[in-house]
Amino acid sequence: MLIALCLYKYFPYGGLQRDFLAIAKTLREQGHQIRIYTREWEGDRPNIANDLILVPTKALTNHGKDREFNKWVLSHIKQHPVDRVVGFNKMPGLDVYYGADVCYAEKIRQEKKGWLYRFTSRCRHYLEFEKSVLEKDATTKILIISKKQKTDFQKHYQTEDSRFILLPPGISRDRRYQNIPKDARNKLKDLVPISSDDYVLLQIGSDFQRKGVDRSILALASLPDELRKKTHLIVLGKSNATPCIQLAKKLEISEKVHFLGGSNQVPSFIGSADILLHPARSENTGTVILEALVGGLPEIVTSECGYAFYVEKAKTGIVLSTPFDQREFNQKLRKALNRKILDEFKRNACIFADSEDLYSLADYAAKAIVNK
């Protein structure tokens, strides 16, 4: 079977991109031919595709580029047919949509965008492309990774139950706590001036505003003096850090907040930290939540994250209330920075990592794509 995989942009540090690679690899191992369409590919090109086609676009805006991409791909497929068209972003013409994105219609409702925003070309584009995939009587099969997605999609588009397939998580088994480098903490000392008894807070993810990095900085600044002096925040990811750097400077904790950019050494950072912070404003799932969990790292997350329920189920950390309250976050962080509490969270995480299926997403996704 010849399968086309469509992804607007590949970069090596995103959760969606890791799922994309895992699914492509699984399909290839099953003997299928893979053709990848993308606007941009950043980083190494793994040997998983028969063809990797960089689609030319000229538009100045992202949504303009998306539209050009979709038109070009559909035209190319018409001339060079495939058996399946799988999209990892919402766009017309898909047989299967891998739903890693939140429902855009619900997102703008929650963010209380003014009615004028709905008339912008950006908003109209994203709603149009979303509707093409999810509207009632469409034929696209929808692979979802959180139950909340189905609720939101059906609320706005009345999508039929039969078109949804809920996938288990797809954390790589080599991310489990048994494989975390034993010298991870010492390696961190080469990058950040920490002492052996300091607390290390870790935040991972691009789009710092949506991930709530500012919230983490405020929580760090709120700690009692003695505790704050021995606590550091490590931030990994590619985003505009300037507003966060300015906030840390304003709060006089610049020396405690460290932006280290994107990294392919996430397991090492997980092994070096004491707690993961993920106070996201919106998050379809939050793959990093499960990466931390299987790595044995306690967590504080917002309930807006689709995978937050795993933290509650496994008793590996704290899920903050909705609506978000910065004072609650400050208090919960202060309470969690206790070695006895963190050790209990860590034990629970290791037990859960060994007993639950958090690893089979790619296998289930490949089966759904082939049997569409």
Q: Please give the pLDDT value at position 12.
A: 85
* CB burial string 89-113: b at 16+ within 10 A, e below: bbbbbbbbbbbbbbbbbbbbeeeee
> Of the given ranges (73-87, 98-112, 319-333), which has the lowest mean pLDDT?
98-112
Per-residue pLDDT tens for 154-206?
999 999 999 999 999 999 999 999 999 989 999 999 999 999 899 999 999 98
193 in the same domain as 334: yes
What radius of gyration do the chain's Cα atoms show? 21
Average pLDDT over residues 313-319: 98
Cα–Cα–Cα angle for 257, 263, 267, rounded to 5 degrees: 95
Asked if 236 and 288 touch (Cβ cutoff 8 Å), the reply is no
Asked if 271 and 243 touch (Cβ cutoff 8 Å), the reply is no
> Of the given ranges (41-45, 324-328, 329-333), which has the lowest mean pLDDT?
41-45
335 in the same domain as 217: yes
SS (H, E, C) 97-122: EEECCCCHHHHHHHCCCCHHHHHCHH
**Angstrom distance (rounded) from CA 139 to CA 66:** 21
Q: Please give the pLDDT value at position 127.
A: 97
pLDDT surpassing 90 at residue 111: no
pLDDT surpassing 90 at residue 372: no
**Tokens found for residue 17:** 């991109």
23: closest CA among 371, 370, 365, 367? 365
The sheet that has 275-278: what strands, in order across it? 257-259, 231-236, 199-204, 275-278, 299-302, 317-320
| CA distance to 275, 283, 317, per residue, from 341 (Å) | 11, 26, 9
286 in the same domain as 200: yes
Question: For the domain that residue 95 is a member of, what is the CATH number?
Answer: 3.40.50.2000
pLDDT surpassing 90 at residue 74: yes
pLDDT surpassing 90 at residue 15: no
CB atoms within 10 A of CB 37: 22
Q: Please give the pLDDT value at position 13.
A: 78
Total domains, the chain: 2
Q: How confident is the model at residue 301 (pLDDT cuts 50, 70, 90)?
A: very high
18 in the same domain as 50: yes
129 in the same domain as 181: no
85 in the same domain as 205: no
339 in the same domain as 201: yes
pLDDT surpassing 90 at residue 79: yes
pLDDT surpassing 90 at residue 152: yes
pLDDT surpassing 90 at residue 70: yes
Alpha-helical (H) ranges within 158-252 are 184-189, 208-211, 213-221, 225-229, 242-250
Q: Is the peptide bond before 323 cis (omega within 30 degrees of 0)?
A: yes
**Angstrom distance (rounded) from CA 183 to CA 165:** 40
Give the structural domain span for 302.
173-355
Asked if 201 and 274 touch (Cβ cutoff 8 Å), the reply is yes
pLDDT surpassing 90 at residue 72: yes
82 in the same domain as 10: yes
**Angstrom distance (rounded) from CA 258 to CA 245:** 9
Q: How confident is the model at residue 63 (pLDDT cuts 50, 70, 90)?
A: very high
36: closest CA among 100, 97, 82? 82
Q: How confident is the model at residue 284 (pLDDT cuts 50, 70, 90)?
A: confident
Q: Please give the pLDDT value at position 185.
A: 93
pTM: 0.83
Q: Please give the pLDDT value at position 14.
A: 79
231 in the same domain as 92: no
280 in the same domain as 177: yes
243 in the same domain as 346: yes
The rounded mean pLDDT for the chain is 95
Residue position matching structure tokens 């048994």? 178
299 in the same domain as 235: yes
Q: How confident is the model at residue 110 (pLDDT cuts 50, 70, 90)?
A: confident
Phi–psi pair at 82, nearest 5 degrees: -130, 170
